[in-house]
A and B are shown apart, each in its own frame.
Chain A
Amino acid sequence: MSEEYVKLISSDGFEFVLRKDIACISGTIKAILNEGVFAEAQNNECTFPDIRGSLLEKVCEYLHYNYRYKNQQDVPKFDIPPEMVLELLVTAEYLDT
């Protein structure tokens, strides 16, 4: 079950494939994918018409960073270029991450 993969699709058509358990670190994504009735849950796919590819990529990068360094000390800094930090904050709030 842990090797299931899901696809996140951005507004400009970029597709990101990642493991389901890592994607579900985001509360919103978890809620979308676990709701059995929705088409997203059936296909294991999630489309975000408001999120650009570059932002979604950074989010995926963060999800992996979170998974990798969970409960550890000496966690390295997660870099974000300042140009995207504002939108990323809004996106992060939307995705509950």
Chain B
Amino acid sequence: MARGSRVRGPNSALTEFLRSQGINTSALGRARPPNPESTEQTNQGSGTEINGTVDSPISEETPLIETTTVQVQSSRRPGGRSVKKKKKPIEEDDDDHNISFGFHRAGFSYKSRENAGKLDFCVHCQCRFTITPYSKYSEKENGWLCYPCSRGAEEQQVPEIHTRKRRAMTRKKAAAATMDEELNVPKLQDICIRIIAEYIHDVEALGDIGQLNMDKISQIISKNRSLDDTTVQLFLTGDQTELRLYDCSRLTDGALLQIAQYCPRLHTLHLTFCGQMKDEVFNLYSEKLTELKDLSINGAFLVSTNTWISFLKKRGLQLTELEITDTAKVHSSVINAIVDYCPNLVTLTLSRIFYMDDECVRLLSGCKNLTTLRIESPGQTVTDGSVLDVLNQIGSGLQTLSLAGCSKLSDEVLKQGIGPCCGRLRNLDLSGLSELTDDEAASMFGSWNIQSGLETLSLRRCLGLGDRTLRAVLVNSGQSLSSLDLNGLSYITSDSLHYLAKFPLPRLQTLDVSWIRDMNDKLVCEFEENKPALAKLLVWGNNHVLMPTKRLLLIGREVQ
């Protein structure tokens, strides 16, 4: 094989095609000495726009920035071998040898064979060795490296080559970061808190850090599932007035007892996932926590009915906010006790209560001072009648109402309950009410004159609703809405979405248009332009939303 020989053997169909197109694949994924010949050739590369990065110092990134045609070829390498091992570069001397073979054909191209077998001196250690197709060429030192030196060189040179897997990982990380909204560099406080959470077992007393940061630490620790009997000591300082533990699943009842013992002055106590809470603990709470105003107990399934009732008897008078979720021991007797013993109750949330039924709901009409009422995902059937009773009695005082998950409710609740009664309503959550119909809902919102505009509205998975309701909602509350959730309303058409985009919504900050088929990139652009306050847009399951946004936080976009 003399150099410059014009004799060429048969080539594959692919190489013939590429040559006929004039595509020069010489720079394909091969790190080679940036000799002037290759530069010439790539500059002469006809028709294809090969970036001038071949001769730049960032030669390692060449495979990434190639043209699409070249990339197609690279992705078709069998076995998807990543561009890591640098094979001996082909010495391009003239145009005739444009087409080079994929180098995973183990260096059996003409070029590497040219030098193979020659004796040379290693440019690094000056030892004599035979050049093989596998020998490395060192760009820095302009010469061939013997095997031991080439091993050393490879370790240094680790190129930041973006294989497909890498790219997918980066995208995943970016998507995860978007989901957690951790886009920017984290604040120093957050970094510190994270490290504290890691080292928590070595940290004894934290001293005075400030209530807000204690809460942040609590959140992080709970997220790490590191909250247990030892680490909870961090939070039991004595003169605390607020305590929120977001994951008490590892706290034994001994630790839960300590909460009452060490922090008797609490006026806010939120415990989530406190499955280990037993009757004795709760009884101790009713004794010791004399200043308790805001109580939220989620998942205390072991606490018995009588214990609830006795707690409410003792502490009910001072309670203003109460949240009970996920328990099967709360029967109508407990609800009765709530109504009887908690006259000052302003906020009441009852979610996923197994025995929640019409009777229980009806009893709630006795809580006269409520401004926030949440009855969510009741375990038994809750029908219109009881809800209407409640709304007729106390609806006019309610500012926040949530009937999420009460799936058996129908339009009557809107027509005869919310519409006529709830004049002060600011936040409405009707998630999961799949029996609501478009026409009725539209007419309710259309004629809802007694109230002055909602701030948050969730129509999540109200599958029956569509265009008419959306338009009626906008007309009714457009001026004041700051958060609108239309997740799952696939009947909404693009006409209405355009209407939504054009409608003035000065306060809208969060919009969820997931799973609406007609959502597309053009609409996203329109949202970005016309809604100055909009910060977050959720587009889960919107197949036609593909482009990223500049200003908005776009969550749930599919990426190829």
Does the CB pair A93–B210 fall under 8 Å?
Answer: yes
A1 on the B face (CB < 8 A):
no
- With a cutoff of 8 Å between Cβ atoms, the chain A residues found around residue B202 in the complex are 82
Return the contact of A89 from the options B174, B184, B213 (Cβ within 8 A): B213
CB under 8 Å from chain B, chain A span 62-90: 62, 65-66, 69-75, 78, 80, 82, 85-86, 88-90
- Report the nearest B residue to A63, measured CB to CB: B188
A86 touches B203 (CB 8 A): yes
Residue of B nearest to A95 (CB): B188
| Residue among A59, A69, A80 making CB contact with B185, cutoff 8 Å | A69
The answer to whether A66 touches B174, judged by C-beta atoms less than 8 angstroms apart, is no
7 closest pairs, A vs B, by CB?
A89-B192, A92-B188, A92-B189, A97-B188, A66-B185, A62-B188, A82-B199
Min CB–CB distance A93 → chain B (angstroms): 6
Q: Mark B191-206, 1 if CB is under 8 A from A, else 0.
A: 1110110010011001
Residues of A within 8 A of B (CB): 59, 62, 65-66, 69-75, 78, 80, 82, 85-86, 88-90, 92-93, 95, 97
Additional A-B contacts beyond A88-B192, A97-B189 (16; CB < 8 A): A65-B185, A66-B185, A71-B184, A74-B173, A78-B188, A78-B191, A80-B195, A85-B196, A86-B206, A89-B192, A89-B196, A93-B189, A93-B210, A93-B213, A95-B188, A97-B188
Interface 0/1 of B169-193, CB less than 8 Å to A: 0100110010000011101110111
Indicate which residue in A70, A74, A78, A90 contacts B184 across the interface (CB closer than 8 Å).
Answer: A70
Query: Are B196 and A86 within 8 A (Cβ)?
Result: yes
Q: How far is the CB of A22 from chain B (nearest CB, A)?
A: 13
- Residues on B with beta carbons closer than 8 Å to the beta carbon of A73: 170, 173-174, 177
- For B202, the closest partner residue in chain A by CB is A82
Contacts of A69 in B (CB 8 A): 185
Alpha-carbon distance between A77 and B196 when the two chains are bound, in angstroms: 15
Q: Do A74 and B170 have beta carbons less than 8 Å apart? A: yes
Residues of A within 8 A of B183 (CB): 71
Indicate if B2 sits at the interface (CB-CB under 8 A). no
> Which residue of the partner chain A has the closest CB to B206?
A86
The residue in A62, A73, A86 that gathers the most chain B C-beta atoms within 10 A of its C-beta is A86
Query: Which residues does chain B contribute within 8 Å of A72, judged by CB atoms?
Result: 185
The smallest C-beta distance from B206 to any residue of chain A, in angstroms, reads 6
* A80 partner, pick from B187, B192, B206, B213, beta carbons under 8 A: B192
**In the complex, chain B residues whose CB is within 8 Å of the CB of A86:** 192, 196, 203, 206-207, 209
Task: Name the A residues within 8 Å of B187 (CB-CB).
Answer: 92, 97
**Chain B residues, CB < 8 A from A78:** 188, 191
A65 surroundings in chain B (CB, below 8 A): 185
Residue ID in chain A nearest B192 by CB atoms: A89
Asked if B185 contacts A75 (CB within 8 A), the reply is: yes
With contacts A70-B185, A73-B170, A75-B185 taken as known, whether A93 is within 8 angstroms of B191 at the C-beta atoms is no
Q: How far is the CA of A89 from the CA of B203 in the complex (A)?
A: 14
Q: Is the CB of A80 within 8 A of B189?
A: no
Within 8 A of A (CB), among B384-405: none
Select one of A62, A70, A71, A93 contacting B209, CB under 8 A: A93
- A sample of 9 inter-chain contacts (CB < 8 A) reads A59-B188, A70-B185, A74-B170, A80-B192, A80-B195, A86-B206, A92-B192, A95-B188, A97-B189
Q: In the complex, which residue of chain A has the Cβ closest to the Cβ of B203? A: A86
Give, as a whole number of angstroms, the nearest-CB distance from B262 to chain A.
Answer: 20
Question: B188–A85 contact, CB under 8 A?
Answer: no
Chain B residues whose C-beta falls within 8 Å of the C-beta of A74 in the assembled complex: 170, 173
Q: Which residues of B contact A92 (CB under 8 A)?
A: 187-189, 192
Residues of A within 8 A of B207 (CB): 86, 90
A62 to B177, CA, bound (A): 20
Give the docked Cα–Cα distance between A28 and B185 (Å).
18
Nearest B residue to A78 via CB reads: B191
Residues of A within 8 A of B189 (CB): 89, 92-93, 97
* A86 (CB) vs chain B CBs: closest residue: B206
- List, in ascending order, chain A residues with CB within 8 A of B170's CB: 73-74
| Distance (whole angstroms) from the CB of B535 to the closest CB of chain A | 16
Q: A69, A74, A75: which has the most chain B beta carbons within 10 Å?
A: A75
- Residue of B at shortest CB range from A75? B185
- Docked Cα-Cα span, A62 to B170, in Å, equals 24
What residues on B are CB-neighbors of A80 within 8 Å? 191-192, 195
Which residues of B are found within 8 Å of A97, using beta-carbon distances? 187-189
Task: Give the residues in chain A near B191, CB-CB below 8 Å.
Answer: 62, 78, 80
B363 to chain A, nearest CB (A): 46
Most buried by B among A66, A69, A95: A66
Which residues from A are CB-within-8-Å of B173? 73-74
Q: Which residues of B contact A88 (CB under 8 A)?
A: 188, 192
